[in-house]
Amino acid sequence: MDSSNASASLTAMRNLPAGRRIELTDSTGHVWTGSIVPSHALSGPRIVSLKLESGYNVGVAVDEATTFREIDDPPSPRRPEPRSPSARAMAVDDAWIALLTTGGTIASRVDYETGGVRPVQDAREILAFYPELESSGSVRVVPVFDRLSENVGPADWLVLAQRVVEAFDGGTRGVVIAHGTDTLGFTAAGLSFLLADLPGPVVLVGAQRSPDRPSSDGPSNLEAAAAVARDRRLGEVVVVMHAGLSDDRFAVHRGTWVRKMHASRRDAFESRNGPPLGTVEGGTVHLLPIVRGPGPGPARVEGPIDERAGLLWFYPGLTPERARGFSEGLRGIVVAGTGLGHVRSDLIDWIRSRTQAGVVVAMTTQCLEGGTDPFVYATGRALVDAGVLYLDDLLPETAYAKLVWALGRATAPADVRALLAQDRAGEFLRRHRPEAEV
């Protein structure tokens, strides 16, 4: 089947089931082969999302000149994501919040056969583990997926963002997302960029100890997260975790400022550069005036994403050959450089060749605190001359999440750079909390 009418073509593609393989020829003549990704997760009216054979998800702009044909392979046997039967059918109820579960330690228990930690399999079991969740009002559990967070990536951010929008559309006051802690910071940053016009809080929470252990931080973290999710002053993506080792003080971190800074401690999460946005103490939520308030709604997902983004940490032995091997096929690269944002001089020519080829190269600092500055040393000036965009005080991980989002939203490198440079979710700390030179 061929079609050359844009809207008919788009409608026809949208009517294909998720997973159906197509070959799409865009207006530049480029041919994309891949499987349809559920399009309701995407807000762009003229964007089709494909999972390419390489495993990447891309958003392809559709216009008058776009054609496509179905490829007759059977759809992939991949099991569909479990969906909440009630997500759309929820009645409006001012007091309830949604709990989205994704797996991870917070939804895990020890498997006494292997001695390892295994996911809890259903929503009832989670409420059984966490009775305190409903202490301040009703909670509706929406299982989204079930995996350890090292296996949660950008495509999952998009699924989660859509579930968040569905929960707000259904009338929830706020959303709690229970998530493994390993990549919780990455997901919090990804959601910060993907979600817009939030009418209430989106609170990511995890546990460093599984819920069947007496020392588990899961119950107290969840109770604090639920309190924050009910707070009417907040309209942004945050992370709530222990602020110390005791079970009565919790920190509220901005989703783009937070990083897991300890492998095992309960207070592993830290806001870098800026302070936490607030605390929860004795069940009371305290917030700084810098929090972003709720919007009028409706919440929206501003996708799509493009995973042809890389995060490259510099080290003294990094050669241009190795950097080249790493970045094959990427549209954008975030470099975690040293100090104010530097790399070895012999990498600069390679970087120039990349930016001249239309790759967006952005610089952050592996110090994880303080801002980059290209104008102090000769190396920084040479990197700017080679086309590197300096991202001020963004964490490398936050910059990576923003790049995945910006590459999905824009095609021309200049437009991607403009999106990266613009504050979207309060992520540029220095613009929100001016700090004297120290």
Interface pattern 311-340 for a copy of itself (x via CB under 8 A): x-xxxxxxx-xx-xxxxx-------xxxxx
Of 1, 141, 163, 144, give the one whose Cα is nearest residue 68.
1
C-beta of 103: minimal distance to a copy of itself in Å? 11
Residues between 33 and 62 that touch a copy of itself (CB under 8 A): 54-55
3-state secondary structure of 127: helix
Both tokens assigned to 156? 């999952």
User: Looking at beta carbons only, is 318 or 421 nearer to a copy of itself?
Assistant: 318
Quick check: 375 binds a copy of itself (CB under 8 A)? yes
Interface pattern 244-283 for a copy of itself (x via CB under 8 A): -x--------------xxxxxxx-x---------------
User: Looking at beta carbons only, is 151 or 353 nearer to a copy of itself?
Assistant: 151
Signed CA dihedral, 74, 80, 86, 92: sign only: negative
Interface pattern 85-114 for a copy of itself (x via CB under 8 A): -----------------------------x
Both tokens assigned to 170? 């259904």
Are 433 and 274 within 8 A, CB to CB? yes
Of 161, 178, 177, give the one whose Cα is nearest residue 105.
178
How far is Cα of residue 246 from the mean position of the Cα atoms in its chain?
29
Quick check: 350 binds a copy of itself (CB under 8 A)? no
User: Looking at beta carbons only, is 4 or 246 nearer to a copy of itself?
Assistant: 246
d(CA 318, CA 327): 13
Gyration radius from the chain CA atoms: 22
Quick check: 343 binds a copy of itself (CB under 8 A)? yes
Residues between 189 and 218 that touch a copy of itself (CB under 8 A): 215
Are 124 and 131 within 8 A, CB to CB? no
Catalytic positions, please?
105, 181-182, 260
User: Looking at beta carbons only, is 227 or 395 nearer to a copy of itself?
Assistant: 395
d(CA 136, CA 418): 43
Quick check: 371 binds a copy of itself (CB under 8 A)? yes
Are 333 and 327 within 8 A, CB to CB? yes
C-beta of 251: minimal distance to a copy of itself in Å? 16
Of 39, 31, 324, give the one whose Cα is nearest residue 158.
39
C-beta of 115: minimal distance to a copy of itself in Å? 7
C-beta of 424: minimal distance to a copy of itself in Å? 19
**How many Cβ atoms are within 10 Å of 114's Cβ, its own excluded?**
8
Which residues sit opposite 195 in a β-bridge? Answer: 301
Q: What secondary structure letter does DSSP report for 338? A: B
Please count the residues of this chain forming the interface with a copy of itself, following the rule CB under 8 A: 76
Quick check: 309 binds a copy of itself (CB under 8 A)? yes
Residues between 383 and 422 that touch a copy of itself (CB under 8 A): 397, 400, 404
C-beta of 222: minimal distance to a copy of itself in Å? 19
> 401-426: b or e for each residue (b if 16 or more CB lie within 10 Å)?
bbbbbbbbbbbebeebbebbeeebbb
Residues between 123 and 182 that touch a copy of itself (CB under 8 A): 148-154, 181-182
Q: What secondary structure letter does DSSP report for 129? A: H
Task: Give the DSSP H/E element, type plus range, for residue 67.
Answer: strand 67-70
Quick check: 66 binds a copy of itself (CB under 8 A)? no
User: Looking at beta carbons only, is 49 or 183 nearer to a copy of itself?
Assistant: 183
Among 51, 342, 402, 409, binds a copy of itself (CB under 8 A): 342
User: Looking at beta carbons only, is 149 or 172 nearer to a copy of itself?
Assistant: 149
Among 12, 370, 384, 432, binds a copy of itself (CB under 8 A): 370
C-beta of 411: minimal distance to a copy of itself in Å? 19
Of 374, 416, 367, give the one whose Cα is nearest residue 392.
374
